[in-house]
Amino acid sequence: MLKDVSRRQFLGTVGAGVAGTALGAFGFDGAGEALAASIRPFKLAQTTETRNTCPYCSVGCGIIMYSKGADKAAGKLGKIMHIEGDPDHPTNKGTLCPKGSALLDFVTADTRTKYPMVRKPGSDKFERITWDQALDRIARLMKEDRDANFIAKNKDGQTVNRWTSTGFLAASATTNETAWMTYKVVRSTGMVVFDNQARV
Ligand code: SF4
């Protein structure tokens, strides 16, 4: 049944069929069938497919990452060889804009930030720190700033509960539910400066 045929099998069958038909039209009887039987597996045949979301903008296009050496049980993605639009994703249906189409370069770029870095006061260089250190530092600095600058009431005595001295930039490559939760957490602190859409 058609629904049991994977996308890759479908493309392989169509590719072999087109090649066979074309050779048959040139008079090479049987050549088409031989070609179809010997057609080599696609270069992605040995790769692992992992679905994800393009990280650039709030359109949130679905992507498929093809990798070698992946071990999903161990949480290892392996080496990503190819990235393309996810044809089953309701937002983009397989398409990607130029930024999304260049995602492989983004993943493999030498300049890509892969871990938290900090430039301490008075220092002229960034240093690598752990995620725990980064989260502790961010939480502590946020608390100190909020304690010092939270505005409970405005000058007319009205309750406003505003915190305007720190801003929060969240990720757009997320689900509606995660975005909703992020919004609730950030707004519950009184933070006004907040963006959950990557305008970059
Ligand atoms: S940057 Fe392009 S590919 Fe990525 S989510 Fe936005 S529109 Fe889709």
For the Cβ of 162 lying below 6 angstroms from any atom of ligand 1, the answer is no
Residue pLDDT, tens place only, 98-150: 999 999 999 999 998 889 999 999 999 999 999 999 999 999 999 999 999 99
Average pLDDT over residues 166-184: 86
CA of 173 to the centre of ligand 1 (A): 10
Percentage of the chain lying above the pLDDT 70 cut: 78
For the Cβ of 146 lying below 6 angstroms from any atom of ligand 1, the answer is no
The CATH number, out of the four listed (3.40.50.620, 3.20.20.150, 1.25.40.10, 2.20.25.90), of the domain defined by the range 48-108: 2.20.25.90
CA of 192 to the centre of ligand 1 (A): 27
CA of 49 to the centre of ligand 1 (A): 19
The DSSP letter of residue 88 is T
As a three-state string, the secondary structure of 7-21 is HHHHHHHHHHHHHHH
- What pLDDT does residue 72 have? 78
Tokens of 26: 């040139």
Q: What is the C-alpha to C-alpha distance for residues 148 and 1, in angstroms, rounded to an integer?
A: 66
Please report, for the chain, the start and end positions of each structural domain, with discontinuous segments joined by +: 2-38, 48-108, 117-195
